[in-house]
Amino acid sequence: MTPLHKILLPIACLAGFGFAHHAGAEIYKIIDADGRVTYTNVPTKGAKKLDIDPPPSNGASSAPKNAKTPTPASFPRVDKETQNARDDKRREILQAELTAEQQALEQAKQAYIEGESVPEVYKGANGKTYRNVAKFEEKMKRLQADVDTHQRNIELLQKELQSLN
């Protein structure tokens, strides 16, 4: 780093802090004799103070996070009995999916065990049989991914069912 960079870097950092610090400061607009417009945070003779609302600090809307948007009057409403019937049907569907995933998981585990016991082999030019380790590892990785997928699906379905209770 050159000596000039050692001096300018801290000054630039302080200037950046200064600009960030004054982000909510008052803004003035000045139009000079030639019609050029200048904006500044320094009050100057002939400058007009602008009334500007500061932007939200995190870029989000200014509405509170927990504020609920009111439901429009034209929005279709469902009575409690109908909603309960829908919830029961949803629970029934999720339970059926969970049962199917549990069965699929058992089949995937069985396929993994079977795949583990059957090595991948090939016959060489001399007629001897050799193990194909790369192909075996690829097969086992695929079978393990299948087991993992069904386990994850079961976890998600159980979580969804718990949220209904």
Task: Evaluate whether residue 146 is within a structural domain.
Answer: yes
- Separation CA 50–CA 39 (nearest Å): 9
CB 164 within 8 A of CB 94: yes
Structurally, the chain folds into a number of domains equal to 1
- Look at residue 105 and tell me if it is in a domain: yes
Residue 100 covered by a domain: yes
| Gap between the Cα atoms of 148 and 151, Å rounded | 5
Is 8 among the domain residues? Answer: no
Residue 159 within a domain: yes
What's the rounded mean pLDDT across residues 65-81? 84
Residue 110 lies in a domain: yes
pLDDT, one tens digit per residue, over 136-149 is: 999 999 999 999 99
* pLDDT for the residue numbered 74: 87
- Domain span at residue 156? 94-164
pLDDT value of residue 64:
63
Q: Cα(122)–Cα(141) distance, rounded to whole angstroms?
A: 20
Task: Examine residue 126 and state whether it is found in any structural domain, yes or no.
Answer: yes
H helices present in the chain, as ranges: 3-21, 80-117, 133-164
